[in-house]
Structure 1
Amino acid sequence: MLAVRDLAATRGGLRLIEGVSFDLLPGQALVLRGPNGIGKTTLLRTIAGLQPAAAGTVDLPPEGLAYAGHADGLKATLTVTENLTFWARIFGQSDIGNALEAMDLVQLADRPAQNLSAGQKRRLGLARLLVTGRRLWLLDEPTVSLDRASVALFATAVRAHLAAGGAALMATHIDLGLDDAGTLDLTPFRARFPAAGQGDGFDEAFA
């Protein structure tokens, strides 16, 4: 599903991490660990192709991936249904019913995104993952703004994704109850001698 070899990633022109290698198979989840600022977001963005790698290779599935960053990436004046329909069409999909149910958005389907609470917006942002049809999910702190019940909904969605042969790479401090999830501590991969590289610090919400 995903093979990363000797990857080095930069932010703001400085190399943060280097020599990162791992494999992610269908049905597996991997959680990135490490102190704030070590490069978890930068690594995810590099794997997603949102910024170039300073070194190393990333081998992805042919159909690509779905990336969910810190921002919800919603169109404020569109309703919940219209937002999901937009993203489904972008990825060549049409069914949004499962996403609405999975993230408890059915009763909010006709509400404009600008009228949602922070937690509801986050649930809608995560629901987009379910309409992409992509088997590989890259998730950067996906549970921000979610209450306990919503975290449980999201964890259930991730488990269903894995059970269907998908995979997930995520940076999170929350225990999602994914019993078989592996962990990758990025601390050993911190760059000893930060080198100049490319990186603009922009955080896309979704790709």
Structure 2
Amino acid sequence: MVDSADIRVTRDAYDEVAELYTDMFRRQLQDNPFDAVMLDAFAHTVREHGAGPVADIGCGPGRITTHLAAAGLEVSGIDLSPEMIRIAREQYPDLSFKVGPMERLRFEDESLAGIVAWYSIIHTPPTRIPDVLTEFARVLRPGGHALFGFQAADEPTGVHDYDHKVAPAYRWAPVTFAEALAAHGFRATATLAREARPDERTPQATVLAVKV
């Protein structure tokens, strides 16, 4: 399978801004308790259901990966951008990071206890989200959990283009994303929707789901 044009654009764009991105978001979790709460709830849920390997997909420089590791999870990171992975390996040498696309994960069927896609689905065109969710369902074991973070649409339903500063992106209404999950082997179990913080341009949403 040849990488699509949007994958190449996203990879190249994040390669160019990898150092700046790392500096800008270094304290993002410390400054945003809502995100930390949902990540910690995900970690608790995975541990409660038997633990096991977890993949941070679209891990960037590894800030979410190391947070999940500190929460007691057996976690590794995957990202399109070689530069992001280089930084992650330098900063967190005790964790595993690999370059790769989310549509072709190098995991065996039903081998993962959890997946985190933290603002990493936002650059995937909506027409390809079914392929992504199908791949996530393939590698998650039954009862495994997935956590998604994304910029939320202003409208109660739908998907809309978003003028992202790095690469073309899309904003999902949480209810619409939950419907997409339901159509591809998942059930949404918790949603956090919040207004934009002063340093954000849009509302934000997080959805926790279980593979059924």
Judge same fold: TM > 0.5, yes or no: no
Normalised to the residue count of structure 1, the TM-score between the two structures is: 0.37
Q: Which has the higher contact order (CA 8 A, sep 6+)?
A: 1
Normalised to the residue count of structure 2, the TM-score between the two structures is: 0.37
Please state which structure has a larger fraction of its residues in strand: 2
User: Higher Cα Rg: structure 1 or 2?
Assistant: 1
